């Protein structure tokens, strides 16, 4: 069921089959992300247009927020595409890290737009800025609420059907984003009720939401660039390797290159074993790790002559 070594190379890096990650489900998840991104992009662009027409900073911030979210989805797509590129001599691991590079770009853009939206909001508050065509602005904010709610429900239903945690978390994000649009709406309603500062205050609140996106994007990209990994992965990979007959002791390391989780297993074996036997153990280790850590996309097996050093 699990494919082991496709190509045999001297470093004993086994490309692993994604056990649980069914291709059909992945396609459904991709489609859900793509459809949502198009929906949110349309919502954001209409809001942006209405923000210019009305001079509403609340709407401006909400539009920027929605467009920032779309750009993060675009990076995920870029990652999918580039991760299909085959490794070359110049890029022996492929181009998967391009996704992280693009992530830095997105983080810069999101923070810059947060500064822009915040600056415009504070300026409007101080200068007692005016809001025109309030009805159109209110319609824009309602579109923001509706757009995010529809996208949230859609992602949640697909996420539940294919059992995708990422998609369900994404749905929750979109649901919360409807609150940002509701903030813009509240500001405009306040203006309509004779409180001209309402929109500027809403703009400042919505800027907080953009900062939140900026924080999440930055945290993720820094984590990936610093080769951060969920410690659970290392523990489980060590347990899985240690359970293979012939492995006296195992150390694991793992890191992401783009969307591929690369696992390195250093396994102590009986020093009398032949290279062929060590290799066979490596295949069993790859099988076990692939079963227990379905995210693992590649496994490097290093056989060490045991027993394990006492310091570990």
Give whole-number Cα distances, 210 to 33, 51, 207, 281, 306, in Å.
20, 16, 5, 50, 53
> Binding-site residue total for Zn ion (CB under 5 A)?
2
Q: How far is the CB of 137 from Zn ion (least distance, A)?
A: 20
Q: Rule CB under 5 A: is residue 69 a binding residue for Zn ion?
A: yes
Q: Shortest gap between Cβ of 31 and Zn ion (angstroms)?
A: 20
Taking contact as CB under 5 A, which single stretch among the options 8-16, 23-31, 69-77, 154-162 is the one that binds Zn ion? 69-77
CB closer to Zn ion, 120 vs 177: 177
CB of 155 to Zn ion, least distance (A): 12
Q: Of 177 and 287, which CB lies nearer to Zn ion in the complex structure?
A: 177
Q: Pick between residue 210 and residue 233 the one whose CB is nearest to Zn ion.
A: 210
Measured from the CB atom, is 175 or 197 closer to Zn ion?
175
Closest separation in Å from C-beta 36 to Zn ion: 11
Q: Smallest distance, Å, CB 66 to Zn ion?
A: 7
Q: Which is nearer to Zn ion, 47 or 177 (CB)?
A: 177
Which span (83-91, 103-111, 176-184, 222-230) binds Zn ion, by CB under 5 A? Answer: 176-184
* Span near Zn ion by CB under 5 A; candidates 23-31, 134-142, 169-177, 288-296: 169-177
Stretch that binds Zn ion, among 98-106, 125-133, 159-167, 170-178 (CB under 5 A): 170-178
Residue 40 CB, shortest distance to Zn ion, in Å, is 9
* Nearest approach, Cβ of residue 192 and Zn ion (Å): 26
Site membership for Zn ion, residue 177 (CB under 5 A): yes
> Candidates 43-51, 135-143, 173-181, 200-208 — which segment interacts with Zn ion by CB under 5 A?
173-181
Give 69 or 99: the residue with its C-beta nearer to Zn ion: 69
CA distance linking residue 188 with residue 124, whole number of Å: 14
Q: Quick check: 47 binds Zn ion (CB under 5 A)?
A: no
| Closest distance to Zn ion from the beta carbon of 173 (Å) | 5
The DSSP annotation for the chain comes to -----SS--TT-EEEPP-SS--HHHHHHHHHHHHHHHHHHHHHHHHHHHHHHHHT-HHHHHHHHHHHHHHHHHHHHHHHHHHHTSPP-SSSTTTTTTHHHHHHHHHHHHHHHHHHHHHHHHHHHHHTT-----HHHHHHHHHHHHHHHHHHHHHHHHHHHHHT-HHHHHHHHHHHHHHHHHHHHHHHHHHHHTT-TTHHHHHHHHHHHHHHHHHHHHHHHHHHHHTT---HHHHHHHHHHHHTSTT-SEEEEEEEEETTEEEEEEEEEE-TT--HHHHHHHHHHHHHHHHHH-TTEEEEEEEEEESSPPTT-
Listed in sequence order, the residues at least 6 apart from 6 whose beta carbon sits closer than 8 Å to its beta carbon are 14, 15
Please give the residue ranges that form the binding site for Zn ion (CB under 5 A). Answer: 69, 177
């Amino acid at each position: 069921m699990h494919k082991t070594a496709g190509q045999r190379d001297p470093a004993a890096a086994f490309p692993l089959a994604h056990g649980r990650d069914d291709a059909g489900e992945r396609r459904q998840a991709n489609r859900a992300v793509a459809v949502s991104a198009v929906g949110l992009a349309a919502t954001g662009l209409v809001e942006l247009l209405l923000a210019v027409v009305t001079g509403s900073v609340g709407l401006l911030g909400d539009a920027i927020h929605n467009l920032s979210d779309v750009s993060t989805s675009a990076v995920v797509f870029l990652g999918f595409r580039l991760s299909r590129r085959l490794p070359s001599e110049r890029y022996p691991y492929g181009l998967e890290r391009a996704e992280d590079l693009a992530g830095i770009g997105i983080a810069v853009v999101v923070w810059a737009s947060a500064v822009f939206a915040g600056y415009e909001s504070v300026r409007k508050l101080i200068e007692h800025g005016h809001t025109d065509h309030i009805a159109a602005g209110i319609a824009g904010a309602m579109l923001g609420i509706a757009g995010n709610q529809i996208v949230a429900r859609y992602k949640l239903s697909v996420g539940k059907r294919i059992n995708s945690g990422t998609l369900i978390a994404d749905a929750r994000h979109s649901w919360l984003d409807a609150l940002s649009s509701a903030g813009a709406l509240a500001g405009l309603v306040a203006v309509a009720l004779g409180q001209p500062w309402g929109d500027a205050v809403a703009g400042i609140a919505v800027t907080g939401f953009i900062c939140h996106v900026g924080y999440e994007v930055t945290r993720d990209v820094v984590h990936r660039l610093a080769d951060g990994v969920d410690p659970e992965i290392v523990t489980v990979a060590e347990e899985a390797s240690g359970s293979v007959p012939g492995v006296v002791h195992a150390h694991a390391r793992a890191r992401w290159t783009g969307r591929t989780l690369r696992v390195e297993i250093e396994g102590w074996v009986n020093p009398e074993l032949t290279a062929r036997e060590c290799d066979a153990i490596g295949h069993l280790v790859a099988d076990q790790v692939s079963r227990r850590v379905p995210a693992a996309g590649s496994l490097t097996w290093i056989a060490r002559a045991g027993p394990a050093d006492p310091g570990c």
